[in-house]
Copies of this chain bind each other. A is one copy, B any other.
Amino acid sequence: MVYLTLWMLWRVSGCCRSQRSMAVVLSGQKASLEIRQRLRRDVDQMKIQYSGFRPGLVVLQVGDREDSNLYIRMKLKAAAEIGISANHLRLPKTATEDDVLRGISAVNRNPLVHGLIVQLPLDSMNPIDTEKVINAVNPEKDVDGLTHINAGKLSRGDLRSCFIPCTPSGCMELIRQAGVPVVGKNALVVGRSKIVGAPMHDLLLWNHATVTTCHSQTADLATEVSRADILVVAAGKPEIVKGEWVKVGGLVIDCGINHIPDNRNSKGKRLLGDVHQPSALQRAAFITPVPGGVGPMTVAMLMENTVQSAKHFLQVNHPGQGSLNHSRMSRQTPVPR
């Protein structure tokens, strides 16, 4: 509502002043905090209603990559704050594909676990088929939404019965919070990865945008970007989208996290998005910053999926013990086709 008012103000000021207004910056920090606070209340309610019950999450890691360690620490910290029982299942670098599949199988069978994610990439000395490993996760516990079954449901519009990958889900949440209607809008997704671009396309499509997907083979990215009321960039290329391409008054979601060497910085590097932010700020009505935009939302939506999975588990296994609020499912439901 606050953002909606800001959007209306942006439009008015943009029309009346020769100096164009700067975009409203959509804070993923703030939005993710609100989600995590809501989830904490949900989990507290579960504990009371189901005598000490807690949602369970397992993060399976193979090896010891430093970036994976960092991401896992963030996930475990967020889970602990919400009241989710989260466990880190770490297999050594010497683990074989069979070891990983056995680990997944054990977690699949454990009724105390409602969400299982496999931290990628797998850091093993042995050849491991990542697709096989991902698809060994029980789709009912696949809170990353990466199994073929969940992808198939999402891509064909069955949004109510699937887990939605966390980054695109977080992007949709930011779009929703901006108050920008999606139905009938021209939306553009730059990138077609399994984790972000492809499911983002699906989410926008089934929320009834007219969606275009661009990628490395696209002939004229600038023209495509200039047509987009809603632009989501997940190309993994620093500042590939120039600000001057952005549609005036558009909404820009920047999923890029690119570490660029920079001697002027004390860390020796700096973080850039996939969008040239300073110039895009001059034209967009809304933009997500990097960092502090999409990043924090990804962790929040993983927690959301885990809590929803636990609610589903309770309703299947303990029906009639009162109703839990399936807040997210109702928010994800698209309008009738």
Interface residues of A (CB under 8 A from B): 131, 147-158, 183-186, 192, 194, 198, 202, 205, 208-219, 224, 337
Contacts and interface: CB of A to CB of B under 8 A. Distances in A.
Nearest to A218: B210
Contact of A158 (B131, B185, B210): B131
A21 to B, nearest CB: 25
B155 A218 contact: no
Contacts of A192: 157, 205
Contacts of A212: 210-213
A158 B192 CA distance: 12
10 A-B pairs with least C-beta separation: A152-B152, A148-B152, A155-B155, A151-B152, A212-B212, A208-B217, A210-B218, A148-B149, A184-B219, A184-B217
B156 A198 contact: yes
Nearest to A147: B152
A155 B210 contact: no
A217 B156 contact: no
13 contacts: A148-B158, A150-B152, A151-B152, A151-B156, A154-B155, A155-B155, A155-B198, A183-B217, A185-B219, A210-B214, A210-B218, A212-B213, A215-B337
B157 A198 contact: yes
A219 B229 CA distance: 12
Contacts of A213: 205, 210-212
**Copies of this protein chain in the complex:** 2
A104 B184 CA distance: 40
A208 B215 contact: yes
B224 A217 contact: no
A131 B157 CA distance: 12
Contacts of A198: 155-157
A219 B215 CA distance: 24
Contacts of A217: 183-184, 208-210
A166 to B, nearest CB: 16
Given A156-B194, A183-B217, A208-B215, 8 more contacts: A131-B158, A148-B149, A148-B152, A148-B156, A148-B158, A154-B155, A157-B198, A212-B212
Contacts of A157: 192, 194, 198
Contacts of A194: 156-157
A267 to B, nearest CB: 32
A150 to B, nearest CB: 7
A177 to B, nearest CB: 21
B210 A224 contact: yes
Contacts of A150: 152
A214 to B, nearest CB: 5
B149 A216 contact: no
Max count, chain B CB within 10 A of own CB: residue among A154, A202, A212: A212
A197 B215 CA distance: 20
A184 to B, nearest CB: 5
Contacts of A184: 217-219
Nearest to A185: B219
